[in-house]
Chains A and B, each alone.
Chain A
């Protein structure tokens, strides 16, 4: 099956700075890579996703990049704000015998200091 590694496990930035979270995956056949944000006490919710036929996707202050050759993808948050503080999870969707199954990274606790 797929294996998703996520780094760093914790990240602290000053308000206004950028934050980058990186993930690697093992199965070259995986073709869908979502990112989830989990605020304290709430359920994880999708914030952005990317398909393997696209190298980069942006949505206002957040962007995701994908390098299929290197099998890694990253979340970029620019002009961070205190409300960006949360746990972020990357994931990859399996193919083959695990078609459709979602594999999560272990999460990154992002803290944005005012």
Chain B
């Protein structure tokens, strides 16, 4: 049982480049989330999904896109990377029951130069 698998661990992008952060979970969780965490700060929700084919914006969606074609996968796309997107990105998932913990991926440390 792998839990939440997030790739890559580290990435350096040049301004204007694009990339996709991958996230997969094997727990059949309905909810999946993408957060960014700037140094010394809390978790800011970028996008979330309540199930395959359904996504919604969080607090800070500008500059990002997501898709959820399957229950397992929830990739985050960065278009035209900017220095302000330098951050640590976490993917997480929860089941739809009213109890039960969230599981986090290991994080992706992204630097835009």
Please list the residues of chain A having a beta carbon within 8 angstroms of any beta carbon in chain B. Answer: 31-32, 34, 36, 42-46, 49, 51, 87, 89, 91, 93, 95, 99-102, 104-107, 109
In the complex, chain B residues whose CB is within 8 Å of the CB of A31? 98-99
Q: Are B30 and A43 in contact (CB under 8 A)?
A: no
Q: Count of chain B residues with Cβ under 8 Å from any Cβ of A?
A: 25
Known: A100-B30, A100-B31, A101-B31. A106 touches B99 (CB 8 A): no
Q: How far is the CA of A11 from the CA of B96 in the complex (A)?
A: 33
Let me know if A101 and B98 touch, CB within 8 A.
no
Closest A-chain residue to B107, C-beta based?
A43
- Majority DSSP secondary structure for residues of A touching B: strand
Which B residues lie within 8 Å of A107 (CB)? 41-43
CA distance A93 to B100 in the complex (A): 9
Alpha-carbon distance between A93 and B44 when the two chains are bound, in angstroms: 16
Interface centre among B92, B102, B105 (most CB of A within 10 A): B102
Partner of A91, one of B31, B102, B106: B102
Contact pattern, B 89-113, Cβ under 8 Å of A = 1, otherwise 0: 0101011111111101111000000
Q: Write 20 A-B pairs (CB below 8 A) sorted by A numbering.
A: A32-B98, A34-B102, A43-B106, A43-B107, A44-B43, A46-B101, A49-B101, A51-B99, A89-B43, A93-B99, A99-B98, A100-B30, A100-B50, A100-B94, A100-B98, A101-B31, A102-B92, A102-B102, A104-B42, A104-B43
**How far, in whole Å, are A107 and B23 apart by their CA atoms in the complex?**
24
Given A43-B90, A44-B90, A109-B40, answer yes or no on A100-B97 (Cβ-Cβ < 8 Å). Answer: yes
